[in-house]
Amino acid sequence: MAPRKPRASSRNPELIHGIGKYSRSKMYHKRGIWAVKAKHGGVFPLHEPKAAAPTPAEKPPKYYPAEDVKHPIPNRRKHKLTKLRASITPGTVLILLAGRFMGKRVVFLKQLPSGLLLVTGPFKINGVPLRRVNQAYVIATSTKVDISGVNAEKFDDKYFTKEKKKKNKKGESEFFETEEETKALPREKKDDQKALDTPLIKAIEAVPDLKAYLGARFSLRAGMKPHELVF
Amino acid sequence: MPFKRYVEIGRVALVNYGKDYGRLVVIVDVIDQNRALVDAPDMVRGQMNFKRLSLTDIKIDIPRLPKKKSLIAAMEATDVKNKWENSSWGRKLIVQKRRASLNDFDRFKVMLARIKRGGAIQQELAKLKKQNAS
């Protein structure tokens, strides 16, 4: 017979977790094993066991540790993606609270698989490039920008990782030289920034004063109480 | 300096403390030295201490303990809502509420508008000064 779909629910309703309504013998009858056996002359039909692939002969190890070595149980837990605050949706204007761009108002693009937020100035407006930012260091305003023309598909965490510096093991003389090579930003990244920002800037210029708003930094003035401010 | 606003049946008051803070109510009966029975179109009639009420200038013409329908009709007749919203007290409260609900972007736009207004005033002032000087 062609392989049939397995049954959707169990034939044995659960009374309580771990205890079914029917006993073993009743279940045997319900599943119809007796009918299958009768069809095949008193024996439940089994597939022929697959011939096991011959395992290569293992060499006895050279070294046995003196006492039993404890192995930690492998941790197979996977993190869930950081829950995004309900106030942060693609196109939201965020206020950065820490770091080099403290106080800058930026546009949120999407959440990356690591949980960090992908954000852009846009660069021409306030100097903030495509950047990753942690949700905790951000205030979400209720201002939204139309982000439908923007394609941020190709950006992920790998795009932003620093390149590993090669360690020079030889040459003690190089210890005394300052090894500061400020790498210029590769042309590709500049092009990516421009490609992403152009439709975004067009959408921003459609709203009056929004461009100046994004260019200005946020700061607390006298009389502003953060817990009473509506963002 | 005599009193101008009296506690009387029909006096409109503003609740200044408690769950109904900011609501306009009408004094519908006086219970004792400290408490009044108050009523508003959108609330269940209940008692309130006078200390929780700030009396306003508005008074409506109602008998003691009117039915809700007649209360609403009397309020419409004296147009309490518009009188309140046009009074300086009422306008102040509306402005306060609007300012408190401003968005970060709104606050930015307000700042730009204030600078613009200040600039216009300074220009006029400079013009007038020039006229005076000459």
How far out from the chain centre does Cα B42 lie? 17
Q: What is the pLDDT of residue B112?
A: 95
Interface check for A216 against chain B (CB to CB < 8 A): the answer is yes
Q: pTM score, two decimals?
A: 0.73
**Residue found under tokens 């609740």:** B15
The partner residues of A144 in beta bridges, in order of sequence, read A92
Q: What is the pLDDT of residue B109?
A: 95
Sign of the CA dihedral A156, A158, A161, A163? negative
CB contact under 8 A, B112 and A212: yes
Q: Is the peptide bond before A199 cis (omega within 30 degrees of 0)?
A: no
Pick from A122, A123, A94: which is nearest to A108 by CA? A94
Q: What is the pLDDT of residue A150?
A: 87
Spell out which residues of chain A touch residue B102, defining contact as CB-CB under 8 Å: 230
Q: What is the pLDDT of residue A56?
A: 78
Single-letter amino acid, residue A35: A
Q: Which two tokens stand for residue A2?
A: 């062609």
Spell out which residues of chain A touch residue B105, defining contact as CB-CB under 8 Å: 93, 141, 143, 209-210, 213
Interface check for A66 against chain B (CB to CB < 8 A): the answer is no
Encode chain A (231 residues) as per-residue pLDDT tens digits.
567 788 888 899 999 999 999 999 999 999 998 999 988 888 778 888 887 777 777 888 888 888 888 889 999 998 889 999 999 999 999 999 999 999 999 999 999 999 999 999 899 999 999 999 999 999 999 999 999 888 888 888 888 888 777 766 665 555 555 555 667 778 888 899 999 999 999 999 999 999 999 999 999 988 899 999 999
The answer to whether A21 and A13 have CB atoms below 8 angstroms apart is yes
Min Cα–Cα distance to chain B from A228, Å: 8
Spell out which residues of chain A touch residue B103, defining contact as CB-CB under 8 Å: 141-143, 230-231
Phi/psi of residue A93, nearest 5 degrees: -85, 125
Q: Which two tokens stand for residue A16?
A: 């309580």
How many whole angstroms separate alpha carbon B95 and alpha carbon A37?
86
Indicate the average pLDDT of chain B.
Answer: 94
Model ipTM? 0.78
**Residue found under tokens 């009639």:** B45
Searching chain B, which residue's CA lies closest to the CA of residue A140?
Answer: B104
| Predicted confidence (pLDDT) per residue in B3-31, tens digit | 999 999 999 999 999 999 999 999 999 99
Nearest to A230 among B102, B108, B109 (CB): B102
The answer to whether A138 and A116 have CB atoms below 8 angstroms apart is no
How many whole angstroms separate alpha carbon A119 and alpha carbon A101?
12
How many whole angstroms separate alpha carbon A98 and alpha carbon A101?
7
| CA-to-CA dists, residue A225 to A139, A219, A228, A231, B109, angstroms | 14, 12, 5, 12, 19
Interface test with A, best of B96, B101, B108 (most A CBs within 10 A): B108
Nearest to A209 among B102, B103, B112 (CB): B112
| CA-to-CA dists, residue B67 to B23, B28, B39, B63, B74, angstroms | 20, 10, 10, 9, 11
Q: What is the pLDDT of residue A48?
A: 84
Single-letter amino acid, residue A229: L
Spell out which residues of chain B touch residue A213, defining contact as CB-CB under 8 Å: 105, 108-109
Q: Which residues contact A83 (CB under 8 A, 6 or more apart)?
A: none
How many whole angstroms separate alpha carbon A127 and alpha carbon A137?
18
- Which of helix, strand or coil describes residue B55? strand
Q: What is the pLDDT of residue A184?
A: 76
Min Cα–Cα distance to chain A from B114, Å: 14
Q: Which residues contact B65 (CB under 8 A, 6 or more apart)?
A: B28, B29, B37
Pick from A78, A73, A76, A105: which is nearest to A92 by CA? A105
| Predicted confidence (pLDDT) per residue in B61-101, tens digit | 999 899 999 999 999 999 999 999 999 999 999 999 999 99
Residue B120 has pLDDT above 90, yes or no: yes
Q: What is the pLDDT of residue A177?
A: 54
Spell out which residues of chain B touch residue A145, defining contact as CB-CB under 8 Å: none
| 62-121 in chain B: CB under 8 A from chain A | 100-105, 108-109, 112
Helix H or strand E segment including B57 = strand B53-59
Min Cα–Cα distance to chain B from A213, Å: 7
Q: What is the pLDDT of residue A178?
A: 54
Single-letter amino acid, residue A141: T
How many whole angstroms separate alpha carbon A229 and alpha carbon A224?
7
How many whole angstroms separate alpha carbon B27 and alpha carbon B66?
11
